[in-house]
A and B are shown apart, each in its own frame.
Chain A
Amino acid sequence: MSATTPIPEADGIAACPVSLELNGQRRHLDIEPWTTLLDLLRDRLAMTGTKKGCDHGQCGACTVLVDGKRVNACLTLAVMCDGKQVTTIEGLARGDELHPIQQAFIDHDAFQCGYCTPGQICSAVGMVNEGRARSRDDIREQMSGNICRCGAYPHILEAIEDALPAARAWAGEGER
Chain B
Amino acid sequence: MNSTSPIGQPLPRVDGRLKVTGQAKYAAEFEIPGLLHGSVVNSTIARGRVRRIDTTAAEAVAGVVLVLTHENRPPVASYDEPYQDDDAADGSPFRPLYNDRVLYSGQPLALVVAESLELARYAGSLVRIEYDVEPHQTDLAAVREQAHPAPEEVPSRGDFEAAYRGAPLQIDHEYGTPIEHHNPMEPHASTVHYQPGDELIIHDKTQGVQNCMRYVEGVFGLEGKVQVHSPFVGGAFGSGLRPQYQLPLAVMAALKLKRSVRVVLKRQQMFTFGYRPRTLQRLAIGFSPNGRLEALHHGSLGQTSRFEDFTEHEVEWSGALYACDNVQLEYRLGSLDVYTPIDMRAPGAAIGVYALEAAMDEVAYAAAIDPLQLRLRNYTEINGNQGKPYSSKELCACYEQGAERFGWSRRPLEARSMRDGHELIGWGMATGVWEAMQMPASAKACLAADGRLIVSSATADIGTGTYTVMTQIAASALGLPMDRVEFRLGDSRFAQAPLEGGSATVSSVGSAVHQACVGLREKILDAAQQSPASPFTGASLDDVAFEDGELVLKREPARRVPLTQLIQTSGTLEAEASVKPGDEREKYATGTHSAIFVEVRVDEALGTVRVTRVVSAVAAGKVINPKTAASQILGGVVWGIGMALHEETWTDHRLGRYMNHNLAEYHVPVNADIHDIDVFFVEEQDSVVNDLGSKGVGEIGIVGVAAAVANAIYHATGKRVRDLPITPDKLL
Chains A and B are bound partners: yes
**Contacting B185 at CB < 8 Å: which of A92, A93, A107, A115?**
A115
Collect the chain B residues with CB atoms within 8 Å of residue A154's CB. 634, 674, 676-677
Contact B32 A109 (CB under 8 A): no
Q: What DSSP secondary structure best describes chain B's contact surface?
A: loop
A54: CB under 8 A from chain B?
Answer: yes
B26: CB under 8 A from chain A?
Answer: yes
Count, A-B residue pairs, CB within 8 A:
204
Collect the chain A residues with CB atoms within 8 Å of residue B208's CB. none
Contact B235 A102 (CB under 8 A): no
Q: Which residue of A lies closest to B236 (CB)?
A: A113
A51: CB under 8 A from chain B?
Answer: yes
A117: CB under 8 A from chain B?
Answer: yes
Contact A117 B20 (CB under 8 A): yes
A39 touching B118 in the complex, CB below 8 Å, given contacts A4-B35, A111-B20, A151-B635? yes
Q: Which residue of B lies closest to A107 (CB)?
A: B12
Q: Which residue of B lies closest to A91 (CB)?
A: B22
Bound complex: CA A31 to CA B28 (Å)? 22
Bound complex: CA A133 to CA B136 (Å)? 51
B34: CB under 8 A from chain A?
Answer: yes
- How many residues on chain A are close to B (CB under 8 Å)? 69
Most interface-central of B18, B184, B631, B668 (chain A CB within 10 A): B631
Bound complex: CA A55 to CA B118 (Å)? 12
B162: CB under 8 A from chain A?
Answer: no
Contact A114 B15 (CB under 8 A): yes
Q: What DSSP secondary structure best describes chain A's contact surface?
A: loop
Bound complex: CA A154 to CA B670 (Å)? 11
Task: For residue A108, give the distance in angstroms from its CB to the closest CB of chain B.
Answer: 9
A144 touching B672 in the complex, CB below 8 Å, given contacts A106-B12, A117-B20? yes
Collect the chain B residues with CB atoms within 8 Å of residue A11's CB. 62
Q: Which residue of B lies closest to A11 (CB)?
A: B62
A59: CB under 8 A from chain B?
Answer: yes
Task: For residue A40, give the distance in angstroms from its CB to the closest CB of chain B.
Answer: 11
Contact B21 A152 (CB under 8 A): no
- B residues 621-673 with Cβ under 8 Å of A? 627-628, 630-632, 634-639, 662-664, 668-673
Contact B115 A5 (CB under 8 A): yes
Contact A102 B463 (CB under 8 A): no
Task: For residue B14, give the distance in angstroms from its CB to the closest CB of chain A.
Answer: 10
Bound complex: CA A92 to CA B19 (Å)? 13
A37: CB under 8 A from chain B?
Answer: no
Contact A39 B671 (CB under 8 A): no
Bound complex: CA A117 to CA B22 (Å)? 8
Q: Which residue of A lies closest to B19 (CB)?
A: A114
Q: Which residue of B lies closest to A61 (CB)?
A: B185
Task: For residue A95, give the distance in angstroms from its CB to the closest CB of chain B.
Answer: 12
Collect the chain A residues with CB atoms within 8 Å of residue B630's CB. 109
Contact A51 B186 (CB under 8 A): yes
**Contacting B631 at CB < 8 Å: which of A35, A103, A109, A140?**
A109
The stretch of A14-22, A42-50, A166-174 that contacts the partner chain? A42-50
Contact A106 B16 (CB under 8 A): yes
Collect the chain A residues with CB atoms within 8 Å of residue B264's CB. 52
Interface bits B1-33 vs A (CB < 8 Å: 1, else 0):
000000000001101111111111110110111
22 residue pairs from A and B, CB less than 8 Å apart: A5-B115, A5-B116, A7-B63, A8-B62, A32-B118, A43-B117, A52-B28, A61-B185, A98-B20, A103-B20, A106-B13, A109-B13, A112-B631, A114-B24, A114-B232, A144-B670, A149-B185, A149-B235, A149-B668, A153-B638, A153-B669, A156-B671
Other contacts beyond A8-B63, A114-B19: 4, CB < 8 A: A4-B33, A5-B115, A137-B672, A153-B634
Chain B interface residues (CB < 8 Å from chain A):
12-13, 15-26, 28-29, 31-37, 62-63, 115-119, 183-187, 232-237, 264, 266-267, 462-465, 627-628, 630-632, 634-639, 662-664, 668-674, 676-677
- The 4 A-B residue pairs with the shortest CB-CB distance, nearest first, are A49-B22, A151-B638, A115-B234, A113-B463
